[in-house]
Structure 1
Amino acid sequence: MSSQYNLPELLAKRYELMEELGRGRCGIVFLAYDGLQKRNVAIKLLSEISVSPLDVKRFQREASFISKLHHPNIVSFYSFGQWKNIYYIVMEYVKGHFLRDYIKISPHPLLCLIESALQICSALEHAHSKGIIHRDIKPDNILVSSEGVVKILDFSIARNLATESTRLTGPDSFIGTMAYMSPEQFLGETLTPLADLYSLGVTLYELATDKLPFTAQNIITLIMQHINISPEPPGAINPAIPESFQKIILKLVEKDPAKRYLSLSSLREDLKKSIFDIKEKCLQEVYKEKEIKNVCRQSSKEDAILSLYTSGNIYLEDGNIEEALKIYKQLLSISEETGCGNGEIYAYTGLGRIHVMNNEFEPAMRCFLKGIETENIFIRTENMCYLTETIIKLNKIDNLKEYIDELKLVLTGICNKFLMGKIYMVFGKYELINLERKKAEDYLKKSKNLLEDTKNYWETGEIFHELGKFYMEDFFISREIKIRIKSIKFLEKAKFLYTCMNMKNKVEEINEELKTFGIISSE
C-alpha cells in the first residue's frame, strides 16, 4: 500500500483497513471495518498530491451527489471529508459480484439480466428525479450483492440538471467510457436523462451477447459508429434472446434520444413483459437438463445455493411441486453439509410454500419460523408474511400483533413492490379478523395494485382470490348485483392463474365458491 494512501489520522481512530478493493487514475477504494458502527464499509481515498484540481472537484461533486440519493439500488453514502491533502468518501460496502460476472455465473443469464435491469431502472428513476444524470452506466459500475440486490456505483462524473450546464464542453465533454457513451455526449449536445438510457442499452446489449455493439481500432471510428451506425440485432448474435428483449435493447440505443424510451416506467413495463418470454425458455432448459448438481460444481457456494433456489421456484410456479420438492430437499441437504446458513433459510421458505399449497399449515408454520431466522431483510420479511398468513389460517392469533408491528416497521423502509404487496395483503387479512372491513378492503386493493405489477402468478392469484372472497361476503350482506359481478371477476381471475400453475386444489376451491353464485364449472 502506497504511503500516500495510508488512512488519515482522523479516520484511523475509527476505521481499520482490511484490503484493497480497486483503484483508478484518481484514487483507491478499500474495504475497512467501522469500529463504531460494527460494520464493513468501503472507503474511497483521493490524494491531492497526485491529481488535478478538476479531479478534486469531481470527487467532491460525487460525494455531494450520492449524499442526496437514498435508494436500495444505489450504494449508500455515509460520510465525506478532508484530512490535509487527502479526501475521502465512506460508503456502503457491497459484498457480491460486478454485474458482468453475476450474469455469467447465473444458470439463467437472460432472466437474471432483465431482473437486474429492472432494479437499475428503479435506481436511475430515483437519481433522475433528483436531477442527477449518472453519465457512466456500464457493467463495471454496477454491483450485485450476494442477495441479488443491484447497486449502482461511481457518480464521479455525474451531472446535476438543476445546477450545472448540460451542454458539455472543455475537459468534461468526453469524460466517460466511450464504448457506452451516447451520441449526444460525443456531439456536445444538451444532455438529458435519456443519455443514461442509451448507456443502459449498450450495457444490456453487451451482457446479452457477450459483445459490444460498437468496436473500433481508433477513437474517431468508434465515435462515428455511435453517431451514425445501427448495431447488429442482438438476436443475430445470441438466438436465445427473445424478440421482445431485442426490441427493448434496440430502442434504448436509438441515435435520436426522442426515439428512445421517454420514461423509465414504460421501459420497466416492457422489461416485465419480456420476463415471461425468458421464463418460458428457462423452464424449458430446467426440464431438459435437470443437472442440478452441475450448478454447484460450476459456481461458488452462495451462487450455487441461490441458483438451486431459483430453479426450485421456477418449478413451483409452473405447478411442478414434485420437482420443486426434490430441489428444496437437496438444497437443505447441501446446506447442512456445507454450513451455508442462507441455503437452509431458502430451503425452508420453499418447503413452507409447498406445505401451504397442500393445505398443510402446521408444518408450513414450522418452516416459516425457521425462515425468519436470518439477517437478510428481504428473506425475513417474505417469510414473516407467509408465517403471518399461516397463523391466520390456523386461527392462532395470540402472538400475531408482534409480527404485524414488525411488518409495519419494515414497510416504512422498503420500495420493493413484491414485499409491499405481500405486507398489504397480510394487513388486509389481519383487519378482517378484527372485523375492520373498510380497512381490510383498502389494504387488499393496495396489495392487488402492487402484486399485479410484479407479474407473480402465485401472489397475484392469491390476492385475486382474497378479493373475490371478500366481495362474496359483501354480496351476501348487501345483495347488490355490482358486488356479485366484482366477486365473480376476481374469482375467475384467480382461477385462471391457479390453473396456469396447475394448483388443482385451489381451482377446486374456487369452483366451489363459484357454485354459490350458481356458476357450475364445465371442466
Structure 2
Amino acid sequence: MPVNNARVESQVIAERYQLDTQIGHGGMAAVWRARDLRLGRSVAVKILRGEMGSARDEVERFRREAATLARLAHPNIVTAFDADTMGRTPFLVMELVEGRSLHQLLEAGPLAVPHAISIADQTAQALAAAHDVGIIHRDIKPANIMLTPNRTVKVLDFGIARLTDSPQAALTRTSAVIGTASYMAPEQAVGAQVDTRTDLYALGCVLYEMLTGNPPFPGGNALSMLHRHLNEAPVPPSALHSGIPPAVETLVMELLAKDRGNGRPPPGMCSGG
C-alpha cells in the first residue's frame, strides 16, 4: 500500500477503515484521519511507512506500541481501538484527538501559569497511570501532548516506551540513547537504565517551556544539549519570565534535578502552587 502517496485518500483498509486525510507523520509512520465504517465513527489510523515494513525492529516496535496502549486506560492517554496488518504493513487504530498539540500552542509564547500547571498536572496523571502498569514513556515533549478544545490533555506516541517488566521490550540496548534531546534526562542521555523518574525530568522540561517559552537548554545541536542536561543547572524560570510563583519554580527545579535520587517528586505533585 502506498501510504506516503496522497492518492491513498478514500482507500479502505481491512475492509473497515476509510482513510481521509493525513494529519501527522514521523520518521517511522504516518497518521491518517479515517472513518470506521463498521461503527460509524472517526478514528486515527497510524500506518508504518512502506520502507519500514522490511525493518524487523521497526515492525516489532510498532507492534509493541499497540500492545503498550492496550495496557492503558486513562482519560489523559490516547485510546487504542484496534491493530492489524495490511499485507506485511502493520497499522494501529486509535481515538481521534481533536485539538492542537502543546508544541503548536507554544508557538505563541509562554502560557499563563494556571494553564501550564493544569497541563502539567494532567500529564503527570497520565504518567502515573502508565507507571502503575510498568510503562515508561521516554519521549514526553510538547509534540506528544495534545490539548482538546475543552483543554483536556491526551498523551500520545508510546512508540519508544519501555516496559519495566520486560527488559527486552524496549528493543534497545542499555547503552542506546533514544528520545528527544531537548527533554532528555541525564541518565537517558548517557544510555543508562531509565525508570519512572526519567519521564518526570522530561515533564519538568515541558513545564519549564510552558512557563518561559523555551526548554531549559535551548539552541545548539543535540550533543550540546545533552552535555548541558548532564552538566549545567537550568536558569530559574523566574529569571526569564515574571509572575511565576515560588512554589511552582521550586517544583520545576525539583523535577529537573540531575540526580534522580534527590528531587523529582512523584507524578501527581504538579497540581496547586
Q: Equivalences for 1:111-130 in 2 at 5 Å?
A: 111-130=114-133
Q: CA deviation at 1:173?
A: 1.7
Consecutive unaligned residues of structure 1, counting only runs of 5 or more, are: 275-523
Which moved further from structure 2: 51-60 or 79-88? Answer: 51-60
Q: Distance in 2 between matches of 1:42 and 1:251?
A: 36
Q: Distance in 1 between matches of 2:223 and 2:107?
A: 31
Tell me, what secondary structure is at the counterpart of 2:167? coil
Q: CA deviation at 1:168?
A: 9.1
Q: Equivalences for 1:170-185 in 2 at 5 Å?
A: 170=173, 173-185=176-188
Q: Deviations over 1:443-502 (max 9, x none)?
A: xxxxxxxxxxxxxxxxxxxxxxxxxxxxxxxxxxxxxxxxxxxxxxxxxxxxxxxxxxxx
Q: Deviations over 1:73-132 (max 9, x none)?
A: 000010001121211000000111112444677996221111111111111100000000
Q: CA deviation at 1:171?
A: 9.1
1:158 to 150, 158, 161: 161
The residue type equivalent to 1:36 in the other structure is R
Q: Distance in 1 between matches of 2:265 and 2:93?
A: 34
Match of residue 29 from structure 1? 31
Q: CA deviation at 1:217?
A: 2.7
1:202 to 182, 186, 205: 205
CA contact (8 A) 1:103 1:112 kept: no
Q: Equivalences for 1:149-298 in 2 at 5 Å?
A: 149-164=152-167, 170=173, 173-265=176-268, 267-268=269-270, 271-272=271-272, 274=273
Structure 2 residue 65 is the aligned partner of structure 1 residue 66: no
Q: Equivalences for 1:51-90 in 2 at 5 Å?
A: 52-90=55-93
1:44 to 43, 46, 62: 46
Q: Distance in 2 between matches of 1:8 and 1:31?
A: 10
Tell me, what secondary structure is at the counterpart of 2:24? strand
Count of aligned pairs: 270
Q: CA deviation at 1:47?
A: 3.5
CA contact (8 A) 1:42 1:93 kept: yes
Tell me, what secondary structure is at the counterpart of 1:56? helix
Cα gap change, 1:23 to 1:191, in 2 (>3 Å):
same
Match of residue 99 from structure 1? 102
Match of residue 488 from structure 1? none
The residue type equivalent to 1:176 in the other structure is G
The residue type equivalent to 1:75 in the other structure is V
Write 1 or 2 for the structure with the bigger share of helix: 1
Q: Deviations over 1:159-202 (max 9, x none)?
A: 00001159996497222111111000112222110000000000
Q: Deviations over 1:246-293 (max 9, x none)?
A: 11111101100012234223x24xx31x1xxxxxxxxxxxxxxxxxxx
Cα gap change, 1:166 to 1:181, in 2 (>3 Å):
farther
Larger relative contact order (Cα-Cα within 8 Å, sequence gap ≥ 6): 2
Cα gap change, 1:167 to 1:151, in 2 (>3 Å):
closer
CA contact (8 A) 1:174 1:185 kept: yes
CA contact (8 A) 1:10 1:83 kept: no
CA contact (8 A) 1:17 1:32 kept: yes
Tell me, what secondary structure is at the counterpart of 2:100? strand
Q: Deviations over 1:397-439 (max 9, x none)?
A: xxxxxxxxxxxxxxxxxxxxxxxxxxxxxxxxxxxxxxxxxxx
Q: CA deviation at 1:9?
A: 7.8
Q: Distance in 2 between matches of 1:155 and 1:172?
A: 20
Cα gap change, 1:27 to 1:244, in 2 (>3 Å):
same
Q: Deviations over 1:198-241 (max 9, x none)?
A: 00000111121011211353333222111110011111000121
Q: Distance in 2 between matches of 1:43 and 1:71?
A: 20
CA contact (8 A) 1:59 1:156 kept: yes
Tell me, what secondary structure is at the counterpart of 1:196? helix
Cα gap change, 1:17 to 1:168, in 2 (>3 Å):
closer
Q: Distance in 2 between matches of 1:183 and 1:167?
A: 18
How many percent of aligned residue pairs carry the same amino acid? 35
Taking only aligned residues, the RMSD between alpha carbons, in angstroms, comes to 2.7
Which moved further from structure 2: 4-13 or 237-246? Answer: 4-13
Give the alignment's TM-score, normalised by structure 1: 0.48
Match of residue 18 from structure 2? 16
Q: CA deviation at 1:53?
A: 1.8
CA contact (8 A) 1:28 1:46 kept: yes
Q: CA deviation at 1:48?
A: 4.8
Consecutive unaligned residues of structure 2, counting only runs of 5 or more, are: none
Which moved further from structure 2: 216-225 or 8-17? Answer: 8-17
Which moved further from structure 2: 156-165 or 45-54? Answer: 45-54
Write 1 or 2 for the structure with the bigger share of strand: 2
CA contact (8 A) 2:2 2:50 kept: no
Cα gap change, 1:163 to 1:170, in 2 (>3 Å):
closer
CA contact (8 A) 2:110 2:213 kept: no
Tell me, what secondary structure is at the counterpart of 2:166? coil
Q: Deviations over 1:324-378 (max 9, x none)?
A: xxxxxxxxxxxxxxxxxxxxxxxxxxxxxxxxxxxxxxxxxxxxxxxxxxxxxxx
Q: Equivalences for 1:310-325 in 2 at 5 Å?
A: none
Tell me, what secondary structure is at the counterpart of 1:16? strand
Q: Distance in 1 between matches of 2:241 and 2:264?
A: 23
Match of residue 143 from structure 2? 140
Cα gap change, 1:14 to 1:167, in 2 (>3 Å):
closer
